[in-house]
Chain A
Amino acid sequence: LAKTTQPISMDSYEGQEVNITCSHNNIATNDYITWYQQFPSQGPRFIIQGYKTKVTNEVASLFIPADRKSSTLSLPRVSLSDTAVYYCLVGDQGGGNKLTFGTGTQLKVEL
């Protein structure tokens, strides 16, 4: 499984765009990149997944460069409610994907 590296913590203010970068230098050809969000006292929840280039949904955008050795989760105009831990995962889809989470990035949004 490809190992991921992401910042331990980030701070931001309401209304700003936040970009969290994840490094995954040994990503395999079949691997997808998936991001999860976890609030205190809750289980993680899926945010977005991509394979290459750019993916956007109602919550976030995911930017993946051509070499796929890193990815950036972009949260537009964050609010206090976006304060959470964000996890970057890399792995192939389907059965056998062990979903290894790591320690994630603690995002703190202030007024």
Chain B
Amino acid sequence: DVKVTQSSRYLVKRTGEKVFLECVQDMDHENMFWYRQDPGLGLRLIYFSYDVKMKEKGDIPEGYSVSREKKERFSLILESASTNQTSMYLCASSSIVGIAEAFFGQGTRLTVV
């Protein structure tokens, strides 16, 4: 079974803090993704990585950065957290082989106060 694990289920941070959200997958997938989900807005892609050290901006990259130093790990970084970054964050991974089915983590609900 594919497993995508996010480091925290719930997180509360203060405005201005640097926040790290970690995601690990165990299926040797090439692609990894970070999304945020807000009511009425669906899933919006923040960043995408198709290989180690490779990244591409998604639809809403402002205020975020990412790091992929190892194939199995993809980190989302909020350089200076703000209250408008309070959201549910979802990590996903997929293979470039076959049907490219994406597997999601359980999500991290981040609250910035």
Q: How far is the CB of A30 from chain B (nearest CB, A)?
A: 12
User: A-side binding surface: helix, strand, loop or mixed?
Assistant: loop
What is the interface size of chain B, counting residues whose CB is below 8 A from a CB of the partner? 32
Q: Cβ of B99 and Cβ of A42 under 8 Å apart?
A: no
Q: How far is the CB of A87 from chain B (nearest CB, A)?
A: 7
Given A87-B43, A103-B40, A104-B42, A98-B56 contact (CB < 8 Å): yes
Given A42-B106, A42-B107, A98-B58, A103-B42 contact (CB < 8 Å): yes
Which residue of A85, A87, A97, A100 is within 8 Å of B100 (Cβ)?
A97
Closest to A93 in B: B100
Q: How far is the CB of B41 from chain A (nearest CB, A)?
A: 7
Interface string of A95-111 (1 = CB under 8 A from B): 11111111110000000
21 residue pairs bridging A and B, Cβ less than 8 Å apart: A32-B100, A34-B100, A34-B101, A42-B106, A43-B92, A43-B104, A43-B106, A44-B90, A44-B102, A46-B103, A95-B30, A95-B50, A96-B50, A97-B31, A98-B58, A99-B48, A101-B35, A101-B42, A101-B45, A103-B40, A103-B41
Q: What 17 new A-B contacts, CB under 8 Å, besides A32-B99, A98-B48?
A: A32-B100, A42-B104, A42-B107, A43-B107, A46-B102, A46-B103, A49-B99, A85-B42, A93-B99, A95-B30, A95-B50, A95-B51, A95-B96, A96-B50, A97-B94, A101-B42, A101-B45
